[in-house]
Amino acid sequence: MYVTKYSRKDGIVKACLNQVFTMTQISRAEAHHNRGAILLANEEYKKALIELNKAISIDPLEATFRHTRAWALWRLKQTDQALDEMKFAINLSSDSNLLNSLGSFHYMLGEYDEALRIFSKAISKAGCSQDAALYLRKRGSAFFALDQTDFAILDLNKAIEINPSDAINYRERAEVFQKLNRLNDAINDCSRALIGVKDDPRIFHRRAECYFAQGKLGQALEDAQAAINIDDQYSEAHLLMGKILFADGQVSIAMQFFVTAFSLDERCADAYLNLSLCFDLLKSPKEAHQYARKAAAIDPRYKKYTSEPVRQTLIPADVIQRVQMFKANVHELYPELTDDTI
């Protein structure tokens, strides 16, 4: 029998060919993954998943591919599969960012204790890197969600110490300070955040809320308007603008902002209630009651405000005095609001 003999040179050639084939396969997998990542960023989640499945069929043990597919599954609301995929990726790699993503999933599910545990593991892996600042901020958010504000402040302080140039750290700490009624601290953090990020309407909105709580209506009005200028679809900013104008006695103008607020968010019970208060001040009891009922239908906690005497307790005396300067015929100004079908 004739046996073919391979020289050492033949073996080297074969090895090189195998390596080229392997590299070609890896290149194909990466190409599918990169296309999937772009589609994911463009919110084309189903198409992204198809590309990511192809990448993983070629290289099933690449943690990055699994990580990206987990996010595609999450965006498609396939929650259990997303969690399983992320855990699989974590078993393949020690990358702390994978733990961060898994912690984020649990946080978004409202599973704050589990998010805390996972963010803590990510922090331990990250050491004192810039990534650690991100994970500390996220763990701080989980502490805040659990009403553990002292721990939230500690984590956000550490995040700022590691990365003092990240405006989001200040924005998040401002929220905690606001809840603790440390309004000046919250305002200072918002101002520091705005040095780095000038186009985030949430920062202007939070600072406006703090100024409003301090009775500084002019500054509150300026910041609320800035938030609307950045994002005119921001319903909470319109709601706040209405509250500020209402407190200043400019009821007719405030009404326009309350109407915009619930037109942008039809579930905004607070906007309906505040509109009801406007009608009370403008002596239109029928419309006031209708809007109070609308608020109660959205949120049962507002049911008590279907009673006019109870609603009156929400209107400060100084507002009533200011309103006397703004006489208006509401039925002429806002005929669409006085329709019996409201």
Is the same domain home to 192 and 224? yes
Among candidate residues 144, 160, 176, the one where a domain is terminated: 160
**Is the domain of 249 the same as that of 151?**
no
257 and 320 part of one domain? yes
| pLDDT digit string, tens, across residues 99-131 | 999 999 999 999 999 999 999 999 999 987 889
Tell me, what CATH number does 123's domain have?
1.25.40
* Contacts for 149 with CB less than 8 Å, ≥ 6 apart: 143, 176, 179, 180
- Residue 334 in this model has a pLDDT that exceeds 70: no
Within a domain: residue 11? no
Q: Output the pTM of the full model.
A: 0.82
Q: Are residues 244 and 341 in the same domain?
A: yes
- Residues 244, 228: one domain? no
Considering the domain architecture, whether residues 255 and 272 belong to the same structural domain is answered as yes
In a domain, 334, yes or no: yes
What DSSP line would sit under 87-134, residue for residue? HHHHHH---HHHHHHHHHHHHHTT-HHHHHHHHHHHHHHHTTSHHHHH
Average pLDDT over residues 220-247: 97
Q: Classify residue 18: in a domain, yes or no.
A: no
* 54 part of a folded domain: yes
The answer to whether position 100 is within a domain reads no
Let me know the angle formed at the C-alpha of 161 by 157 and 165, rounded to the nearest 5 degrees.
105
256 and 341 part of one domain: yes
Whether 170 is covered by a domain: the verdict is yes
Domain range enclosing 192? 165-232
* Same domain (yes/no): 317, 302: yes
Write out the H or E segment, with its range, that includes residue 157. Answer: helix 149-162
Q: What is the pLDDT of residues 295-312, one digit of tens each?
A: 999 999 999 999 989 988
- Other C-beta atoms within 10 Å of 57: how many? 11
Q: How many domains does the chain have?
A: 4
Does residue 268 fall inside a structural domain? yes
Spatial CB neighbours of 141, under 8 Å, sequence gap ≥ 6: 107, 152, 172
CB-based burial label for 142 (10 Å; 0-12, 13-18, 19+): buried
169 in the same domain as 134: no
Task: Identify whether residues 221 and 140 lie together within a single domain.
Answer: no
pLDDT digits (tens, 9 = 90+) for 236-279: 999 999 999 999 999 999 999 999 999 999 999 999 999 999 99
Q: Are residues 126 and 143 in the same domain?
A: yes
**Greatest CA separation found in the chain?**
114
Q: Is 96 exposed, middle or buried (0-12, 13-18, 19+ CB in 10 A)?
A: buried
Give domain status of residue 22, yes or no.
no
Q: Which of the listed residues 66, 93, 120 is the one where a domain comes to its end?
A: 93
**CATH code for the domain of 49:** 1.25.40.10
Which residue, 232, 262, 288, sits at the end of a domain?
232
- Average of per-residue pLDDT values in the chain: 89
Regarding whether 175 and 87 lie in a shared domain, the answer is: no
By CB atoms closer than 10 A (0-12, 13-18, 19+), residue 341 is: exposed
pLDDT number for residue 8: 53
